[in-house]
Amino acid sequence: MKPHLSGMIPPVVSPLTAEHRPDTGAVERLAAHVVGGGATGVFVLGSCGEGPTLEPDVATAITRAYVDAVAGSVPVLAGIGEASTERAVRAAMEHEQAGVDVLVVMAPMYFNTETDDAVVRHVTAIAEATRLPLVVYNIPHLTHHPITPRALREVAAIDAVVALKESSGDWDTYSALAETARSTGLQVFQGAEALIARSLASGADGAVPGIANVVPGLAAELVRAGLAGDTVLAADLQRRLDDVCALYRSGFWLSSLKSALAELGITGPTAGRALAPLDGDGLSEVRRVLTVAGLIGAPA
């Protein structure tokens, strides 16, 4: 049976120890934080979850930890971001064995071949390798392979494909893909925080905002207001969410996000070794944003 996904599904970070190993205790705390805040699912191993860059054993351990932590209370979605279809098929089977409920499939990331047919072959092969439903994930600034309306229409005919997650951050791109998705019976999720209220007003089924790691309650309230058609409340909540998103400007966005979670005592700040940690000014800015949002107290 195809799941009915809707609401606010945070792309959770992958908590790591200082030695870059899985921090399962932090997984439990973050899962409780977002589910308690109103998340209707959790999405592991996306961009926020560093899925395309983690060591395979670390990715598997974190995925299993999230599956265990939510214990069936909400669906667990797992990202597949690989350079090749062969690696993606392997990852799909591993995710299924780990107990996830839905796979979120990005375009292949390395060879710049003819985009549409490559995407169709890629999604088809993954669908044939697993019994799990699939969400098609457009994030062209990272994959360098845009999923076009033509490709989406073709893969929508695959029975396993149930939804679109669109994270280009470009309204025209989103609109074209969302229209195609709705016309083919797929659900639609907005991945760009700044476009959540606008997308819900135009018929989106939900959102997948990274900032919900920090403020799940605010993000969930925004999505609920948008789905209920309360555009005035949604606009106000969008402005409040945008204010919290200012913490991304403190340095590299993922380092900023993990540093904010560390300030809240939920996870540590460790990210991939290639990602620059925040400097003193950046950390001060994260603290300022969290203080203004009422999430931590003002310094004495």
Give tens-digit pLDDT for 173-209.
Answer: 999 999 999 999 999 999 999 999 999 999 999 999 9
Q: What are the sequence ranges of the domains in the chain? A: 7-228
Q: For residue range 128-137, what is the model confidence (pLDDT) as tens digits?
A: 999 999 999 9
CATH (one of 3.20.20.70, 3.40.190.10, 3.40.50.2300, 3.40.50.300) for 7-228: 3.20.20.70
Which sequence positions are flagged as catalytic?
137, 165
**What integer pLDDT is reported at residue 246 of this predicted model?**
97
- Compute the average pLDDT of residues 21-41: 98
Report the range of poorest mean pLDDT among 107-121, 132-146, 216-230. Answer: 107-121
In percent, the amount of the chain with pLDDT more than 90 equals 93
Distance from C-alpha of 152 to C-alpha of 166, rounded to nearest angstrom:
11
The residue with tokens 């996306």 is 46
Residue 241 has pLDDT above 70, yes or no: yes
pLDDT of residue 277: 95
The pLDDT, as a whole number, for residue 111 is: 76
Contacts of 194 (CB under 8 A, 6+ apart): 169, 238, 242, 245
Residue 109, pLDDT score: 87
Answer yes or no: are the C-beta atoms of 180 and 149 closer than 8 Å. Answer: yes
In 49-152 the beta strands, taken as DSSP E runs, fall at 76-80, 102-106, 134-138
Short-list 143, 132, 147, CA closest to 178: 147
Please state, rounded to an integer, the average pLDDT across all residues of the chain: 96
Is pLDDT at 108 greater than 60 in this prediction?
yes
Indicate whether 300 pLDDT > 60: no
- Residue 283 phi/psi, 5-degree rounding, is -65, -35
Q: Token pair for residue 11?
A: 């792309």
Q: What is the pLDDT of residue 113?
A: 73
Q: DSSP label at 297?
A: P
- H or E stretch including 124? helix 115-129
The residues with which 102 forms a beta bridge, in sequence order, are: 77
